[in-house]
Structure 1
Amino acid sequence: MHTVDHLESLCARAWPALTEVPLGNWSMRAADGFTGRANSTLTCGDPGMPIADALAAAEGFAREHGIKPTVHVVNGSSCEPAIRDAGWIVDLDHPGGAESLVMTGPLEKFADGEADSRDLPGWWELTAGSEVSAAQRHVLGTGEAVCFGSLSQDGTVVAAVRGAVVEDVLHVARLAVRPSHRRKGLARRLMGELAGWGLKQGATTCVLQVAEHNSAAIGLYTQLGCTEHHRYRYWVPAVS
Structure 2
Amino acid sequence: MDPVYEVEQRCADAWPAQVDERLGEWRLRAAGGFTGRANSALTCGDPGMPVSEALLRVETFARRNGISPAAHVVRDAKHENAVAAAGWVVNEDHPGGAESGVLTGPLTGFHSPPVDGVEVSDVPTPGWWELAAQAVPTAAQRHVLASGSGSGFGSVTRDGEVVAAVRGAVVGDLLHIARLAVRPDHRRGGLARGLLAGLAEWGAKNGATRCALQVAEHNTPAWRLYTSLGCAEHHRYRYWVPLGT
- If the length of structure 1 is used for normalisation, what is the TM-score? 0.97
The answer for the alignment partner of 2:109 in structure 1 is 109
Note the C-alpha offset of 1:153.
0.5
Per the TM alignment, residue 143 of structure 1 is displaced from its structure 2 partner at its CA by: 1.8
Counterpart Cα distance in 2 of 1:122 and 1:79 = 43
Q: Does the residue aligned with 1:116 lie in a helix, a strand or coil?
A: strand
Q: How does 1:1-240 map to 2 (within 5 A)?
A: 3-111=3-111, 115-117=119-121, 118-240=123-245
Q: 1:166 to 1:2 in 2, by over 3 A?
A: farther
CA displacement at 1:63 relative to structure 2: 1.2
**1:219 is matched by which residue type in structure 2?**
R
Q: Distance in 2 between matches of 1:199 and 1:130?
A: 30
Q: Is the 8 A contact 2:103 2:213 kept in 1?
A: yes
Structure 1 pair 182/2, CA: closer, same or farther in 2 (3 Å)? farther
- Matched positions, count: 240
One-letter code aligned to 2:120: D
Quote the Cα distance in structure 2 between the aligned partners of 1:51 and 1:2: 19
Shift in Å, 1:120: 1.2
Measured after TM superposition, the shift of residue 2 of structure 1 is: 7.0
Aligned partners of 2:149 and 2:157: how far apart in 1?
Answer: 25
**Deviation per CA, 1:197-229, whole angstroms, max 9, x where unpaired?**
000001000101010011011110011010000
Aligned counterparts of 1:115 and 1:17: Cα–Cα separation in 2: 26
TM-score by length of 2: 0.95
- Could you tell me how far apart the structure 1 residues matched to 2:131 and 2:61 are? 32
RMSD: 1.4
| 1:115–1:197 contact (8 Å) kept in structure 2 | no
CA-to-aligned-CA distance 1:95-120 (integer Å, 9 cap, x gap): 11110000001001215687422521
Deviation at 1:142, TM superposition (A): 1.9
Unaligned 5+ runs, structure 2:
none
Partners of 1:156 and 1:21 lie apart in 2 by 39
Please tell me the residue identity of whatever aligns with 2:67. I
Deviation of the 1:131 alpha carbon: 2.6
Q: Provide the C-alpha distance between the structure 1 equivalents of 2:129 and 2:45, rounded to a whole number of angstroms.
A: 34
Q: Secondary structure at the match of 2:120?
A: coil
Structure 1 contact 115–196 (Cα < 8 Å) conserved: no
SS at match of 2:212: strand
Whichever residue aligns with residue 241 of structure 2, its letter is V
Q: Distance in 2 between matches of 1:181 and 1:3?
A: 37
